[in-house]
Amino acid sequence: MPKIRVPRLSEVVLVLSVALNLFVAGGFAYSQYTAAHPTQAAPVAPERRLEMFAQKLGIDPETSKPFKEWRRSLRTAQAALVKENQPLVAQAWEDLSTPAPDTQRIQQVLDQMATHRRAFQADATAATIKFLNTLDESQKKTFMSMVVDRSNPYAAPVRNSLGN
């Protein structure tokens, strides 16, 4: 029967050292790869972006009565728009899925949706003007510069409410 060779302690230590070095080198390479390829951050909810928007204006979103009223007005107008347009969207898709869609009927539904959107924008604009009247001049300038800057994610809910 052949004898099984028992590895020496130095051989075991050498193998463990090589394995540990490979593990450390792999971790370093992975960290360098992830640093060079950052993942995209999760989108922030519109409600949270409005709060961040207020903070950029120097307003505490929890204690500012004008901000709370503005936010509530935008939320109410948005909810009304969704409530009015959701059935119309479903109807438009239903009409489009028929073998012979009625173009005139679909256009009427789209016109109704546009009318609701226009009313929403008018409500949002009125609420925004009322809110702007509560700001001082530097806050108004900051507000307008953030809204005009299309790369500013905090102002997106405002831009979307007023028609982009």
pTM over 0.75: no
Q: For the segment 91-142, what is each residue's pLDDT rounded down to a tens digit?
A: 999 999 999 989 999 999 999 999 999 999 999 999 999 999 999 999 999 9
Q: Across all residues in the chain, what is the average pLDDT?
A: 87
Smallest CA-to-CA distance from 51 within 128, 157, 162, 164 is with: 157
Task: Find out whether 61 and 67 touch, Cβ atoms under 8 Å.
Answer: yes
pLDDT class of 43 with cuts at 50, 70, 90: low
Tell me, what's the pLDDT at 52? 87
Angle between helices 46-56 and 137-148 (to 10 degrees): 140
What's phi and psi for 3, nearest 5 deg? -85, 140
